[in-house]
Amino acid sequence: MPASSIIGHDVDEKVKSLPRSTLVCTVLVQRVHIAGQQRHHYRRGNFISPKSHTNSMAPTSADPAASAGRPVSVLFVCLGNICRSPMAEGVFRNVTHAGTPQQHPLIKEIDSCGTGAYHAGDSPDSRTMSVLADNGLTDYKHRARKLRTPEDFLRFDYILGMDQDNVVDIRDEAKKAAKKGLVNQEEALAKVHLYGSFGGKSQKEQVQDPYYGARDGFTIAYDQLSRFSKGLVAHIEQEAARDLGKTTA
């Protein structure tokens, strides 16, 4: 569908000449009351401000990017929440300019956690912090936590595992919560994805746990997560454009 048919009369001709992804974001900024809907506090670092504690009963959807391009929330998950998932969070915050005036209008909240509580309360692995710093992501702060059930399934739109084991564990937690009547199983499972399915070299690309290896494993993870973050942003923008097109059809 031509960009002009999606945008309609919301913006002038000069704006319509911008790239498609910019057009989608421009229209959403105009249509959605960002200031009102995004009164969330973002945590960490030079590019991040204090973390939000939003209502755990936030709206859910079987299609995470539905509701006409509403801003979405993203949760990154690994095993212990000290290596891969906090690195993924830091990279994605940087890519989307979280907590800054340039924050991507389609991103509402970003967080990370682990499927286990092995390191609950700990800071990220020093090698994670070192690789982030080497790439200009400084002053990032995080305390590891375990996946919260049912809160995280109600709160986040995308719940992204770093490897297949993470994905299986997350889905198991969703099913347990559904059996207790705490979440809708179909909606909860629809939010769970392997992160590598966004921007990976294949739909099954995994981020291997670098914890027991050398520092170069963290560098490899960073390179993967950088690719995935761009792929995820592109996916979210495409979903928003599609849904926005439906509302203007």
Which residues carry out catalysis?
78, 84, 209
Tokens of 98: 């979280």
Rounded to 10 degrees, the C-alpha dihedral 14/19/20/26 comes to -60
- Give the C-alpha separation, 136 to 199, whole Å: 22
Question: Residue 40, Cβ neighbours under 10 Å: how many?
Answer: 18
Q: Which residues touch 96 (CB under 8 Å, ≥6 apart)?
A: 103, 104, 107, 110, 229, 233
Any idea what DSSP says for residue 76?
A: E
Any idea what DSSP says for residue 77?
A: E
Rounded to 10 degrees, the C-alpha dihedral 181/146/105/59 comes to 10
- Give the C-alpha separation, 145 to 81, whole Å: 7
Q: Which residues touch 19 (CB under 8 Å, ≥6 apart)?
A: none
Tokens of 219: 């560098």
Q: Which residues touch 189 (CB under 8 Å, ≥6 apart)?
A: 171, 174, 175
Task: Give Cα 101 to chain centroid, integer Å.
Answer: 18
